[in-house]
Structure 1
Amino acid sequence: MIGAIVGGIVGTAVGQDGYIGSQQAQLDRQTETINHLNARNAELEPLQESYSALQQELASLRVTQQQRDLALAMNVHFRTGSAKIEPHFQSQLDEIAELMKQSPEVNWELSGYADRRGDTERNLSLSEERANRVRDYLESRGVNSVQIVTIAYGEEEPLQVDETGEYDFFDRRVTLRSQQGPVQTAQSK
């Protein structure tokens, strides 16, 4: 009987040693895996930092590119004595309106002009009406009015010194210019 008891104790001890040994081996493998993953993470950390820096640089370049794309000027031309926006200019203004809505931090100056035919006071009034029509059109397309300032020059700044029918066409215009920063008004100039 004593032999059976001793055999049972020895068998249990040997079984537990085998179980403890297999658990220790499993624990050692897990520790080795964790150490390997930690070493791999340490190798990847500088790459992650570099990747983050490159992502920030890319975002900055995109903003710069958008600003360059928006640093533009466009002319809308008008018929003699008219402030009506012709259909082919409406489609161009639709595209500008989309750009303006996508970049609300960019402001726009709309400068109205007239040719030298007619009376100076009427030309100033007509150039103001043209600039206001373009502004109203852009606002009807969802552009924030805060982004826009209109200025009327009348016949003051012709594109050519010579006054001819051909050059007059180019003087009957509204010029749209993008500006970074606050919109300049007549009072702040």
Structure 2
Amino acid sequence: MKKRILFPLTAIAISLSANVLAGPSSESRSIEAQTNEAIGFGSGAVAGGLVAGPIGAIVGGIFGVLIAEDVNNDNALEASEQELAKTQSQLSRQESQLLALQKQYEQVQQQSKVQLVALDKEIERVMQEMESNIQFRTASYVLESHFKPQLNLLAQGLNNNPKLVVSLSGFADSRGDDSYNQALSEQRVLSVKDYLLSRGVKEEQVLTLSFGETQPVSAQSSSEDFFFDRRVLVRVAEGQQSMTASNL
């Protein structure tokens, strides 16, 4: 008699397990999870039927499903932990790569600083050796536009090297009155100085001198010689370097 009841209960248990797992949520579960729940429900139902009859089969089946869910949860947790470990490993590699790139960047920065220091020293050396003339028209102290690019470079060098000083010496040719030529040489120096100051050069970096007609380039008195006398001589040096100046 018990055997007759047992076989129908087993069939009912399997049928119930199929119905439980056939709901809408079964589509979102993995095949492995569905299999575990089916086995759990069927095994629980059979065991429950053997012990406590039809009611026991139903209760056993429910407990079987719960046990299967625990197994599935454990499997899902293990898979999540493996995925997390994989992600952490990737992050660790990326962090190592980032640290290596940062180290390379710092090395490049340090090399750039060394190169810039060397470049600044070279610019400073070249500027200290620089000597040039700004020429003027007869009886004029107007700064000609074609000399401005030269003065722009000079201003940039002085701005980048605050310890450098430029000395401006004004001259005039021998034509005309001595006092007029002296005043003209002073005005020429002021024209160059004002332009440098307008380009951001500090006033303490500019020293001015004026000599009028007292220091001609040549003893000749031709028009060509007069051209070279109408000038402002530009010299760059470090600090005062024994230069005597009268700031106008």
TM-score by length of 2: 0.57
The question of whether the paired residues in 1 share the 8 Å contact of 2:168 and 2:234 is answered with yes
Judged with a 3 Å threshold, the aligned counterparts in structure 2 of structure 1 residues 15 and 56 are, in CA distance, closer, same or farther, namely same
Structure 1 gaps, min length 5: none
**Superposed CA RMSD:** 3.6
8 Å Cα contact 1:75/1:175 also seen in 2: yes
Shift of the alpha carbon at 1:84? 3.4
CA distance in 2, matches of 1:145, 1:42: 44
Higher relative contact order, structure no. (Cα contacts within 8 Å, ≥ 6 residues apart):
1
Find the partner of 2:82 among 25, 29, 33.
25
Cα distance in 2 between the residues matched to 1:47 and 1:85: 53
Report Cα offsets for 1:108-161 as digits up to 9, x if no partner: 32211123455655543332232224334x16955556143321122343333x
Counterpart selection for 1:164 from 189, 203, 221? 221
Contact 2:209–2:246 (8 Å) recurs in 1? no
Alignment of 1:62-73 (within 5 A): 63-64=120-121, 67=124, 72-73=130-131
CA deviation after TM superposition for structure 1 residue 34, in Å: 2.1
Which residue, 184, 188, 199 being the options, matches 1:130? 188
Give the letter for the 2:95 counterpart: N
Does structure 2 retain, via aligned residues, the 8 Å contact 1:120–1:155? Answer: yes
State the partner residue of 1:13.
70
| Counterpart code for 2:151 | I
Which TM-score applies when normalising by structure 1?
A: 0.71
User: How many aligned residue pairs are there?
Assistant: 183
Higher percent of residues as strand: 1
Q: After superposition, give the CA deviation of every residue in 1:43-68 in whole Å (9 maximum; x if it has no partner).
A: 33432221221332344355456646
- Going from structure 1 to structure 2, the CA distance change for 1:180 and 1:21 (only over 3 Å counts) comes to same
Give 5+ residue unaligned stretches, structure 2. 1-55
